[in-house]
Amino acid sequence: MRPRNEEASMLSRELDILMGERQRLLEVVGAAAALIASLDSRALPPTAVKSADLVATSINALSDETLRDALAAVRAEIEDGEPDDGEREGERVVSH
């Protein structure tokens, strides 16, 4: 059986790894949200529309808190505005 301090140290290292992975995933999601928000779906090739819709649907399924964390990770933000297709009611993503 391992001593408690060794187990605590292992758990702490694992938590650090998971938090680092979370931060990288937030950066990916934030960048994807900013990209999707900047796209004009009418200008996309038909083969890309399905993929863009999948990404937009996945992003829209996130909690508001997670989406805000993701946008903060890439220094983008949600601004009030007129909703377009794929946007939350009255919000749009702006990249800085």
**Reported pTM:** 0.73
pLDDT above 90 as % of the chain: 69
Listed residue (65, 64, 69, 70) closest to 90, CA to CA: 64
Asked whether the beta carbons of 31 and 74 are under 8 A apart, the reply is: yes
- pLDDT, tens digit, 9 for 90 and up, residues 60-76: 999 999 999 999 999 98
